[in-house]
Chain A
Amino acid sequence: MKKLLLSVTIFLYLVVTCQLFAMESEKVNIHGFIAQGYLQTDKNNFFANTIDGTFQFNELGINFINQFSNDFRIGMQFFARDIGEMGNDDIILDWAYADYRFKRWLGIKAGKVKLPLSFYSDIRDMDHLRTWIFLPQGVYHEIRRDTFATRKGIELCGTTPHTALGLFQYQAQIGILKMSINDGNIRFNESLVYPIYSIIGIEVKPGYLGRINWEPPLDGLRLYVTYSEYEYDIDTVMNVAPPPPPPGQPLPDLSLQKVKDLSLFFGAEYSISGITLTTEYFREDEEQIAINAPDIPIVERLREGWYISGTYRFNDWIETGLYYSIYDPDRESEEYERQLQVAQDTQSPLPLKFKFESTEYCATVRFDINEFWTFKIEAHQFDGTAVLIAQDQEGLSESETDQSYRLLAAKCSFNF
Chain B
Amino acid sequence: MKIKLHYVIRLTIALVICIIYGSLIFVRTSEAQIVIIANTSISENEISKNDLKDMFLGIKLKWSDSKDVKLIVLKGTETHEAFLKNYIKKRPYQFKNYWKQMLFTGKSVLPKSTESEDAVLEYVEKTEGAIGYISAEPADETVKILIIID
The chain A residues found within 8 Å of chain B, CB to CB, are 22, 24, 29, 31, 33, 61, 63, 65, 67, 69-71, 73, 75-77, 95, 97, 99, 101, 104, 114, 122-123, 126, 128-129, 159, 162, 219-220, 271-275, 277, 310, 312-313, 316, 319-320, 322, 324, 326, 328, 357, 359, 361, 368, 371, 383, 415
Q: Determine the distance from Cα of A29 to Cα of B101 in the docked complex, in whole angstroms.
A: 15
A310 to B20, CA, bound (A): 13
How distant is A222 from chain B, measured CB to nearest CB, in Å? Answer: 11
The answer to whether B11 and A361 have CB atoms under 8 Å apart is: yes
Question: Which has the most chain A C-beta neighbours within 10 Å: B15, B19, B105, B110?
Answer: B105
The answer to whether B105 and A128 have CB atoms under 8 Å apart is no
Q: A129-B100, A274-B22, A324-B11 are in contact. Are A359 and B4 (CB under 8 A)?
A: yes
**Quick one: given A63-B104, A65-B106, A99-B106, are A273 and B22 in contact (CB under 8 Å)?**
yes
Question: Using an 8 Å CB-CB cutoff, how does the interface string of B105-124 with A read, 1 for contact, 0 for none?
Answer: 11111100000000000000
Instruction: List the 6 closest pairs (A to B, CB-CB), nearest first.
Output: A70-B61, A70-B68, A75-B106, A162-B50, A219-B89, A275-B22
- A69 touching B68, Cβ below 8 Å: yes
Residues on A with C-beta less than 8 A from B101 are: 123, 129
Q: Please state if A271 and B94 are interface contacts (CB–CB under 8 Å).
A: yes
Instruction: Tell me whether B97 and A129 are in contact (CB under 8 A).
Output: yes
Q: Which of A29, A71, A128, A312 contacts B22 (CB 8 A)?
A: A312
Provide the residues of chain B in CB contact with A272, threshold 8 Å. 22-23
| Nearest-neighbor residue (CB-CB) of A22 within chain B | B110
Q: How far is the CA of A135 from the CA of B94 in the complex (A)?
A: 18
Find out whether the CB atom of B61 lies under 8 angstroms from the CB atom of A322. no
Which of B14-33 touch A at CB < 8 Å? 14-15, 18-19, 21-23, 26-27
Nearest CB on A from B127, distance (A): 12
26 contacts between A and B (CB under 8 A): A24-B109, A24-B110, A29-B109, A31-B104, A33-B104, A61-B104, A70-B61, A70-B68, A71-B68, A73-B106, A73-B108, A101-B61, A114-B105, A114-B106, A123-B105, A129-B101, A162-B50, A219-B89, A272-B22, A273-B22, A273-B27, A275-B18, A275-B19, A310-B15, A322-B14, A359-B1
Q: Which of chain A's residues have a CB closer than 8 A to the CB of B126? A: none
Bound Cα distance from A122 to B103, whole angstroms = 12
B4–A31 CB distance below 8 A:
no
* Chain B contacts for A63, CB-based, 8 A: 103-104, 106
B26:A357 contact, CB within 8 angstroms? no
For residue B19, which residue of chain A has the nearest CB?
Answer: A275
Contacts A71-B61, A326-B1 known; A415 to B100 CB distance under 8 Å? yes
Which residues of the partner chain B approach A319 to less than 8 Å between Cβ atoms?
93
Count chain B residues whose beta carbon lies closer than 8 angstroms to a beta carbon of A.
41
Closest chain A residue to B98, Cβ basis: A129
B139 contacts A by Cβ under 8 Å: no
* B107 to A, closest residue via Cβ: A99
Contact of A31 among B15, B27, B62, B103 (CB under 8 A): B103
CB distance from B89 to the nearest CB of A (A): 4
Chain A: CB-nearest residue to B61? A70
- B35 to nearest A CB, angstroms? 23
Q: Are B93 and A316 in contact (CB under 8 A)?
A: yes
B91 & A77 in contact (Cβ 8 Å cutoff): no
Question: What sequence of 0s and 1s flags, for each residue 44-73 of chain B, a beta carbon within 8 Å of any chain A beta carbon?
Answer: 000000100010000111100000110000
> Given contacts A114-B106, A273-B27, could you give 10 more A-B pairs where the C-beta distance is less than 8 Å?
A77-B106, A95-B106, A99-B107, A123-B101, A162-B50, A272-B23, A274-B22, A319-B93, A357-B1, A383-B4
Cβ 8 A contact of A328, one of B1, B7, B11: B1
Cβ A159 vs Cβ B59 within 8 A? yes
A71 contacts across to B, CB distance below 8 A: 61-62, 68
Q: In the bound complex, what is the Cα–Cα distance between A120 and B65 (angstroms)?
A: 36
Decide: A67 near B109, CB < 8 A? Known: A129-B97, A273-B27, A316-B92.
yes
- Which residues on A sit within 8 Å (CB–CB) of B149? none
Q: What is the CA–CA distance of A383 and B11 in the complex, to the nearest angstrom?
A: 16
Q: Which chain A residue shows the least CB distance to B48? A: A162
Q: Which of chain A's residues has its CB closest to B89's CB? A: A219
- Contact (A70, B62) CB under 8 Å given A29-B109, A273-B26, A357-B1: yes
Nearest-Cβ distance from residue B9 to partner chain A, whole angstroms: 11
Q: Who on chain A is nearest to B93 by CB?
A: A313
Known contacts A65-B109, A271-B94: A310-B1 contact under CB 8 Å: no
Alpha-carbon gap, A33 to B7, bound state (A): 36
Residues from chain B with a CB closer than 8 A to the CB of A70 are 61-62, 68-69
Closest beta carbon of chain B to A201's beta carbon, Å: 31
A313 proximity list for chain B (CB < 8 A): 91, 93
What is the minimal beta-carbon distance from B69 to any residue of chain A, in angstroms? 6
Whether the Cβ atoms of A97 and B106 lie closer than 8 Å is yes
Nearest chain B residue, comparing its CB with the CB of A131? B97
Residue of B nearest to A316 (CB): B93
Measured between beta carbons, the chain A residues less than 8 angstroms from B62 are 70-71
Q: How far is it, in angstroms, between the C-alpha of A359 and the C-alpha of B96 when the chains are bound?
A: 33
